[in-house]
Structure 1
């Protein structure tokens, strides 16, 4: 389940970055999104710690398709 949460978190983060790069957001929105994304990242760290996982443990190997999450 944490893998799905991490996937959605990464997708939302990428969409936010795209919108910021295109200037679609007001300064207040950019600041709010930045704070929210930082909090989400911290929450994922907390969940991984709670369950004794590393972020890399959340990445599923899809065989010939590669991994579900991009490797950073």
Structure 2
């Protein structure tokens, strides 16, 4: 009995979009983690008003950049939330 061969189905027409989707998913995951950490630190009172302002502006700009990149590659936020099977989705539902 011959073992089945695994093949990668790489479609040259969609490879850029698929790679972009993967990269943007990872960036969105990190963005959400950083945002949650900032909120925790703010609630604990471990950030100055100036730090809060800088972080707020930075996170807003990053979110805008993510929106622009998703539009460029015709992706929605739902496209970035990978289904991990029995583990659920990668990104929490907001």
TM over 0.5: yes
5+ unaligned residues in a row in structure 1: which ranges? none
Give the TM-score taking structure 1 as reference length: 0.97
5+ unaligned residues in a row in structure 2: which ranges? 1-22
Give deviations 1:9-44, integer Å, cap 9, x for gaps.
100110011000100001000011111111111010
- Larger of the two Rg values belongs to structure: 2
- State the number of aligned residues: 72
Instruction: Give 1 or 2: higher helix fraction.
Output: 1
RMSD over aligned CA atoms reads 0.6
**How far is 1:71 from its partner?**
1.1
Structure 1 runs, 4 residues or longer, greater than 4 Å off: none
Give the TM-score taking structure 2 as reference length: 0.75
